[in-house]
Structure 1
Amino acid sequence: MKKVFLTIFISGIAIASFAQTKKPIAKKTVAPTKKAVAPVNLKSALDSVSYAFGSSIGSSLKTTGLSTMNYEVLLKGLKDAFTGNKLILDQQQAQQCISEALSGANKSKFTGNITEGKTFLEQNKKRAGVKTTESGLQYEVLTQGNGAKPTAVTDSVLVHYKGTLLSGKQFDSSYDRGEPITLTLNQVIKGWTEGLQLMNTGSKYKLFVPYNLAYGERGYGPDIPPYSTLIFDIELLKINGK
């Protein structure tokens, strides 16, 4: 047995030494063959309903913008929850993971809107007459009034306004409806809350609102996509009660 081992050992050294003296030969890279996936046969009602639930969950996940999942771990989580096994993540941890994943997927989906808004605001702040606040809100005075200013986020005001996307598409207008609206400063988007407190009654401003001071990552309805920078012409007509 020792002789056999010694022979193999010496032969291995000889082969290794020979290999080092030869010029390296470029080897053709062979792509790994994909492991064939066995077809699933639905042989029972349980098979059918199991597959139906799986495909339904997959279709729902796909609409979120997620591009892939670790399917084995996904099935592990599904099985643990269904059979009552101890879960690796508690409800709070799971919800945080889901929220972060969906937020990231949504943000990557609307990268164009983010870039468009950032580019616009960088150029817009260079225009004469445009001022930028610490929050990033930009405004331009169209008409300067001389009345009082709203001084608290609980103030109620009467305003006329028109809102557009950066493309110029109008999504809302009180002018078109023929009547101004009454609103409370703490019940509107952050850009309005801040912008209206800069205005004297009788003023008309143009507000350039970054997405984080507008409707953020969710957008609003069918007309305001996520991560949209918005433009408003807004006229402060009255501070109610003053």
Structure 2
Amino acid sequence: MNKYFPSVLLCLFISGCENREAPVYQRLKKKGINILAAVQNLTVQEKHLQDSKDTSSYALGADLGENLKKQYVELDYDAFLTGLKFGYDKDDDPLLTNEERKDAFQKLQASIRSKQQEGFADNLQAAEAFLVENKTINPDVQETPTRLQYRVIREGTGQSPTTMDQVRVHYEGRLLDGTIFDSSYEKDEPAVFRLNRVIKGWIEGLQLMKEGAEFEFFIHPNLGFGQRGNQDVPPNSAVVFKVELLKVFEKNIK
């Protein structure tokens, strides 16, 4: 999934169209345009992707939709599609002046920042609560002084890595709701990397393992993806990794 957020498309969002009495909706109505009805009609029709234009258009829409959702943007579809059509075709009079668009965009950015901060705080609270409960109800879960929690699924008998070693591992990463966000099993190929180039929870955790071991790690955001998160992990989220340490390499192999 792309990490970028196309600002030119974001500008098409019109925050003043949250109800049917909004100015933009009324302007559309006067023009005899009912975009909302068109959207509703489209949703009940089966859409087949017949050529490369269909496929790329759908891919762009799906990617943009996922990014908008992650950015806490609430869309009004009729206004959004009207703005999209205007921006692409330029075949009609604009419903907003450049100044009005700029003002709408600034208000949207402020709304996004506010909702993000609320979401970040909620995620951190959920992470803290999960780790406290996890340690309490699971007697086989151990915790290090840094608050890294782990469970030994299978002990190993081989070598333990240092931070400068390369390792070959199989792994699966999950969010607290069970969503798998990364998996070498799904790629059908183990990962190879130098241990000092991954998140802190992995750096510490894999040094507790020996070749052949399988552990489950419960990682606080401070030891994971932190306040920034990544394209698949929301900011301030605890994550759970199942890791098999297959091989330790003292010399780089890649």
Q: Indicate whether the TM-score tops 0.5.
A: yes
Larger Rg: 1
**TM-score after normalising by structure 2:** 0.56
Superposed displacement of residue 59, structure 1: 3.0
Query: Which residue in the other structure is 1:136 paired with?
Result: 147
Query: Which residue in the other structure is 1:63 paired with?
Result: 112
Q: Which amino acid aligns with 2:105?
A: S
Indicate conservation of the 8 Å contact 1:217/1:227, yes or no: yes
SS of equivalent to 2:230: coil
Structure-1 separation of matches of 2:148 and 2:214: 16
Task: Say which of 175, 180, 202 aligns to 2:185.
Answer: 175
CA shift in 2, pair 1:132/1:56, >3 Å? same
Structure-1 separation of matches of 2:177 and 2:100: 44
Structure-1 separation of matches of 2:217 and 2:237: 14
Indicate conservation of the 8 Å contact 1:161/1:175, yes or no: yes
Superposed displacement of residue 135, structure 1: 0.8
* 1:171-228 Cα shifts (integer Å, max 9, x gaps): 111112111010111211111111011111111000000111111112211x311111
CA shift in 2, pair 1:107/1:63, >3 Å? closer
Indicate conservation of the 8 Å contact 1:202/1:237, yes or no: yes
Structure-1 separation of matches of 2:245 and 2:135: 23
CA shift in 2, pair 1:195/1:54, >3 Å? same
Task: Say which of 211, 214, 234 aligns to 2:221.
Answer: 211
Query: Which residue in the other structure is 2:205 paired with?
Result: 195
Structure-2 separation of matches of 1:124 and 1:52: 48
Equivalent positions of 1:109-120 (< 5 A) are: 109-120=119-130
Structure-1 separation of matches of 2:225 and 2:112: 21
Indicate conservation of the 8 Å contact 1:137/1:210, yes or no: yes
Structure-2 separation of matches of 1:203 and 1:167: 26
Equivalent positions of 1:28-43 (< 5 A) are: none
Equivalent positions of 1:8-27 (< 5 A) are: none
Indicate conservation of the 8 Å contact 1:162/1:232, yes or no: yes
CA shift in 2, pair 1:156/1:217, >3 Å? same
Superposed displacement of residue 115, structure 1: 2.1
Query: Which residue in the other structure is 1:228 paired with?
Result: 237
SS of equivalent to 1:56: helix
Q: Which amino acid aligns with 1:123?
A: E
- State, as a whole percentage, how many aligned pairs show the same letter: 40
CA RMSD of aligned residues (A): 1.9
Q: Which amino acid aligns with 2:188?
A: G
Q: Which amino acid aligns with 2:107?
A: G
Query: Which residue in the other structure is 1:150 paired with?
Result: 161
Unpaired segments of 5 or more residues in structure 2? 1-96
Indicate conservation of the 8 Å contact 1:107/1:217, yes or no: no
Asked whether 1:161 is paired with 2:171, we answer yes
Structure-2 separation of matches of 1:220 and 1:211: 12
Unpaired segments of 5 or more residues in structure 1? 1-47, 66-104
Structure-2 separation of matches of 1:234 and 1:145: 12
**TM-score after normalising by structure 1:** 0.59
Indicate conservation of the 8 Å contact 1:147/1:200, yes or no: yes
Q: Which amino acid aligns with 2:143?
A: T
